[in-house]
Amino acid sequence: MRAARIQPTGVERSFEDHEIIVTKTDLKGIITYANDVFLRLSAFGEEEVIGKPHNIIRHPDMPRAVFKLLWDTLGQGEEIFAYVVNMAGDGAAYWVLAHVTPSRDASGRVIGYHSSRRRPDRPAVDAVKRLYARLREEERRNDLNASWQLLQDELAGRGQTYEEFVWDLTLGATR
C-alpha cells in the first residue's frame, strides 16, 4: 500500500499517439474500470484504483475551476473535452486530452461516466499550462469562485466556450 499523500516529482511522462487511456466511474466518480494504459501511466495497480475515487490521480497543478466546469457539464448530461494534467502514483505527471461522457442505462438514465484520453500535442499543453497557472494563482489568492470568474472572463475575451478553446488548441488555431 502507498503512502496516503503522493507528492509531485517534477517528472513528466507521456504515451504513444495510438494509445488511449480509458476509465469508467460510477456517479460519484468511483473507478469501476481502468484499462492497461491507464494502469501503466498512473503507476497504480488495478487493485489500487478499482473502488477508489478518480481524483486519486488529481495533480495539484490542475485548477479547481476546470473540474467545476467538468462536473457542471456532466451534471447537465453533456459530454466534455478538457485538457487535464494527472499525477501518477509515483508522483510523475502526464497530460491528456480527456473526453468524458455520461454512461446511460437502457432507459437513458445516467449511471456513471466514461473517460477516454489521448496524448495532446505539446504546443496545446504549453498554451493550457499558461491559462491553468493563472487560474491556480487566482484560487490561491482568492478562491474557487474567483478562479471560475477568471476562466469565464478569459473565454469571453476570446469569444469562445471552453470546448471551442479546447478544439482550437487541438487543431492548432490558438496558441
Q: Are 124 and 169 in contact (CB under 8 A)?
A: yes
Residues of the chain with pLDDT under 50: 175
Q: Name the residue among 147, 98, 100, 154 with its Cα closest to residue 127.
A: 154
What predicted TM-score, i.e. pTM, was given to this entire model?
0.92
Cβ atoms within 10 Å, residue 109: 10
- The number of helix segments (H) and strand segments (E) in the chain equals 6, 5
Q: Helix/strand/coil (H, E, C) string of 25-47?
A: ECCCCEEEEECHHHHHHHCCCHH
Backbone angles phi and psi of 57, in degrees to 5 = -105, 15
pLDDT at 78: 97
pLDDT at 13: 96
Q: Are 136 and 147 in contact (CB under 8 A)?
A: yes
CA distances to 5, 66, 121, 142 from 132, in Å: 22, 9, 16, 15
Q: Are 62 and 50 in contact (CB under 8 A)?
A: no
pLDDT at 36: 98
Joined together, the cell numbers standing for residue 155 give 473565454
Q: What is the dotted CATH code of the domain comprising 21-171? A: 3.30.450.20
Q: What is the DSSP string of 86-148?
A: EE-TTS-EEEEEEEEEEEE-TTS-EEEEEEEEEPPPHHHHHHHHHHHHHHHHHHHHS-HHHHH
Q: What confidence tens digit (pLDDT) does each residue in 49-98 have? A: 999 999 999 999 999 999 999 999 999 999 999 999 999 999 999 999 99
- Domain positions in the chain are 21-171
Q: Are 138 and 150 in contact (CB under 8 A)?
A: yes
Joined together, the cell numbers standing for residue 130 give 499558461
pLDDT at 76: 95
